[in-house]
Structure 1
Amino acid sequence: MIKELLRIGSQFIGYREYANRAEEKLAEANERADALAQKLEQSEAARKKAELAASKAKAEADEAKAKAAGVEELQKKLEDATSALDEHKAAQASREEGILKRLKTQSRRTFTQTNQDFDLTNPVDDPLLDALSYLELHGSEIREGVSNANAVLSALFPYFFPKKEEPATFLNLAKMFN
């Protein structure tokens, strides 16, 4: 029986060491499980943070696409406005050329009738305005000439047409003498 007790005692000592080692391994396993649980929580938090950042990035990308579409639309509108402005400038230049041609023609006709040539004292180096200035000078000369002719014809009228009434307009007065 002593042998039996010694055998049981030795087994108990062996089991105690085995139990201590098992407890140590269980403690290590629990520590690893806690560490893994903590890493899992950190990983989950990082995943949520990454998903939030991805959704923000997607929203920013969508906004950037919308802005890019708006920029393209604005560029199209700018190109349309530029072409319209160019067309308007071309039409304006053509119109000014026509007006300039008419003013020069009238100025040339007036010069042939009055034989009075003018030089501008302060030209503005704008062909349209300079042609208008020449025409204004010729117009002033013609108005002065018509006024003087009216005075002369009115003074002569009673001598040539004593029994008639003098016409009210210069054109009718001049026709009487013609």
Structure 2
Amino acid sequence: MYSGAEDADRISEDISVKDLEKLVRRLTSLSKNHEVPSSYRVEPFSGSHALPEPMMKELVNLGSRFIGFHDEATTLRDALRRAEERADDLEAKLKASETARKKVEKDVAAVEDLRQRLQAAEDALSDKEAKQVERKMGEQYTLSQESDDRILDTVDILELNCDIARKCITSARNALKRVFPHFFLKDTQPEIFS
């Protein structure tokens, strides 16, 4: 059966796209109810027209499909263009967010460094203050001449008195344990009370 596809391909290459679209629109707009103009009328087995009727139907179908594909291709091109613009916008936003992220990471690193430096400075300051307090206390309690050092003499006397008092208390406790054994706890209880 004759499809006319080869002739349609050859004709579509010879005719421009706009002319082919006009021809197909004109042919599809005509219906059987309307009178076909004499310039488009094809008589069966007419010698005036080179294309047979099946070929014309195939050409009309091919033209209709071509227009449909052309319109769909235009729509798809517009959608592709919009998608590419959207992708470009998203890429620009991604670059901006990456730049902002890197800046924030630098700021965070700087803040962490500042925090560590502040901690080190606080530690150094507290050490310095402790040393100053220790030095001031040493200056207050240490006099230049040992003979004039009343506080050290007082502390020495206090230590001696405390040692004597501790020894006296221990001796008194031992003596009182022997004299008054019932006031002091025994290390072992007699068998009667156990």
What is the TM-score of this pair, normalised by structure 1?
0.52
Query: Which letter maps to 1:38?
Result: T
Query: Which letter maps to 2:151?
Result: T
- 2-side partners of 1:63 and 1:30: how far apart? 49
Q: Among the aligned pairs, what percent are the same residue?
A: 13
* Cα drift, residue 88 of structure 1: 0.9
* CA deviation string 1:122-165 (max 9, x = no partner): xxxxxxxxxxxxxxxxxxxxxxxxxxxxxxxxxxxxxxxxxxxx
State the match for 2:28 in structure 1. Answer: none
Aligned residue among 121, 126, 130 for 1:84:
121
State the match for 1:58 in structure 2. Answer: 95
DSSP 3-state at the match of 1:72: helix
- 1-side partners of 2:114 and 2:154: how far apart? 53
Work out whether 1:44 is the aligned partner of 2:111. no
1:111-150 residue pairs with structure 2 within 5 A? 112=153
The count of aligned residue pairs is: 112
* Cα drift, residue 84 of structure 1: 1.3
Cα separation, partners in 2 of 1:113 and 1:97, compared to 1, 3 Å? closer
State the match for 2:151 in structure 1. Answer: 110
* Cα drift, residue 102 of structure 1: 3.5
State the match for 2:169 in structure 1. Answer: none
* CA deviation string 1:90-144 (max 9, x = no partner): 11111122223334447x7336369997xxxxxxxxxxxxxxxxxxxxxxxxxxx
Work out whether 1:73 is the aligned partner of 2:110. yes
Aligned residue among 58, 69, 78 for 1:32:
69
Structure ranking higher in helix proportion = 1
Cα separation, partners in 2 of 1:13 and 1:68, compared to 1, 3 Å? same
Cα separation, partners in 2 of 1:101 and 1:55, compared to 1, 3 Å? same
5+ long unaligned stretches in structure 1: 1-6, 118-178
* CA deviation string 1:33-90 (max 9, x = no partner): 1111101100110110110111011111111111222222222222222211111111
* Cα drift, residue 10 of structure 1: 8.9
What is the TM-score of this pair, normalised by structure 2?
0.48
5+ long unaligned stretches in structure 2: 1-43, 144-148, 159-194
Root-mean-square deviation (CA, aligned residues, Å) is 3.2
State the match for 2:16 in structure 1. Answer: none
Cα separation, partners in 2 of 1:12 and 1:113, compared to 1, 3 Å? closer
DSSP 3-state at the match of 1:8: coil
- 1-side partners of 2:55 and 2:48: how far apart? 10
- 2-side partners of 1:96 and 1:114: how far apart? 21
State the match for 2:162 in structure 1. Answer: none
